[in-house]
Structure 1
């Protein structure tokens, strides 16, 4: 059972366009609407893999009602917390060459009572969860320490915590020792306050997060692959991807694969890489099913290429 927490969920509308011209009236070649938000995407990928998952989400307005309905259609149990504001709607424009343009709404501002209701819902649900995945930025009204309190309460309930956030919220939560944190390269560079130019730079940055409280770090390095650093060892993995259709939600799919495979060690990293590679081959924020995975394309190793330059250095 994987419980996910998305404090600022969304409806994600994706339009595929031949090209993007400012000021023009454009006709979409295809469009879709998906339940969105990083934790929601993790639940969608877990459900697509055939595992049980529940999503803790604040829900407001007709947008919130539609989000709840779509989650149910994906086989996700909804642990909704009513809020006064309306659930946000994000728009992604995908051009024929796979260039993405995203417009993300701010979302509602939560009251102190709504923030506490979310925490208590997570605490109660954590007792029956193997993992709690806490994902995404915090909405207006929630202080950076909110995730730290969530981690503390879920730990007291006996659950393991995966945290995917950044900035002050990550800094504050590290003191509560989340079981795994999942930054991308830019977030990892931000967390340590220096650029990352090589795989070795990323390893040393991940080790610094361990020193600050994280028990393991699963770092997405974009086209360069993924890195796992923790008590089970240090491993590096990658996969062949011929064509990228959309990278929206790929990191969330990776985290879902990692947790569904146990969340520890090289085999879990391989599952993370396979899920992330499958996600970028799919349109919009569609999550991969087992049929979309290509485990044979995945390679993992404990022999880390420390001097390998990152194709997309993080600054």
Structure 2
């Protein structure tokens, strides 16, 4: 089966408006900006779209890790990248679709993300302000923000990174035959209509994708609601398979987020034969201080699962990225 990096993150958003939905038609003022939110029953949950999260991720890879991003072209109502994953890392990891007159090229993103959704229900606060620098009457405006913890999951298909095919099947025809002929220029191996980059190159792309998590920045309204969007709690592992085990790791109790260690114990024990790496759990000091990772690690060791590593978020991301690198280099 295909190997996937699975990740679960919590992001602390204590006074934030990280993803806006545009004008709120029912507001008191005509220029009220609402945050994105979803409803479950009567409860309201602020969220950040997966597209926004992926945008932050991609921006860090460009600015921190010096990825050269694929040029974007626009024709009429469509926009597309150069769809050259051999040359451009983001075409490889983030995927693309480009429809031409004779052919359509599609790269399903090896990196898949959920939205970042509030753990607890929270009705956003309406904040009132004015623009008063100009002569004459001040111009009133409103915007919404919230105080919550956002949860999200992601998966990185390790076997897809650095592999591109000409197979004529929707979602699988990544590159043209002409580009395949140039694969050797990128030190790629060509086998049965597929270009495969070197293990070192594939390891670099996957490793840096993961390392970027520690440096995430971005979001709307940062001038007024500055928020650190790097994870404050994280779980990382490699699974032999594609099902995501970590969806329900968190919950809420009395309006506060909690870590459901009973659930985490259950899935780690149930799927231990499919977990092909250590399990890395990181937490920032000052965040969820009631969570005792040492106790959970000892509890799991007593039950025969001794592959848990704990530390700070950045330490665990870096250690996990090193293990992912070895996955490519030691095969």
**Same fold at TM > 0.5:** no
What TM-score do the two structures reach when normalised by structure 2? 0.26
What TM-score do the two structures reach when normalised by structure 1? 0.27
More helix by share: 1
Determine which structure has greater relative contact order: mean sequence separation of CA pairs < 8 Å that are 6+ residues apart, divided by chain length: 2
